[in-house]
Each structure stands twice: as C-alpha cells, then as structure tokens.
Amino acid sequence: MDDVMQALAQPTRREILQLILEEELSAGEIAAHFEVSRPAISQHIKALRDTNLVFERRDGTRRMYRARPEGMSYLRKFLDLFWDY
C-alpha cells in the first residue's frame, strides 16, 4: 500500500492513470498529453507498472498501457474504513 500511495503522490502519474483508465494508449500517445520529455513519461509509467497500477501489453514493437484499478484494492479498503465514521 505504501508503494501505491507514493506512486499516486505524483500529479503526473495520477493524470496518466486518468488517461488510460478507459482507453489503452501507447507511451507516445500518453506523452503527447504532457509538456515533459518522453523518457520522463516512461519513468512515470514504470513507477505505475511496478506498483501494479498499470497493465502493459505488447502490440508488435509498441507497448500499450491501461490502468489496473484493482492495483488500488488495499488502499481502497484502508480508505473505506474511514467512511464508516
């Protein structure tokens, strides 16, 4: 859960997750939405992938990314505890 919270603490990573929540995109398509370098976006994607918040699928030479909401399940369970009060 700590790794997920650290990954989500960065605003660019949250924006990436929103982009790929309903639509699978390549790293280049994701990078086109930001004014930072493509390598920087790749690092953000790697952090999200390493915490199981992003699914990666290879399509020929391209890598396609899609959000994995189930990667936040432990965080959600923890936060849900506070809504009972």
Prediction pTM value: 0.89
Query: 27 and 41 in contact (C-beta within 8 Å)?
Result: yes
The yes-or-no verdict on residue 1 having pLDDT over 90 is: no
What is the pLDDT at residue 19?
A: 97
Tell me, what DSSP letter sits at residue 26? Answer: E
Q: Over the stretch 13-35, which tens digit does the pLDDT of each residue have?
A: 999 999 999 999 999 999 999 99
Q: Over the stretch 42-68, which tens digit does the pLDDT of each residue have?
A: 999 999 999 999 999 999 999 999 999
Query: 10 and 60 in contact (C-beta within 8 Å)?
Result: no
Q: Over the stretch 68-77, which tens digit does the pLDDT of each residue have?
A: 999 999 999 9
Residue for token pair 């399940």: 73
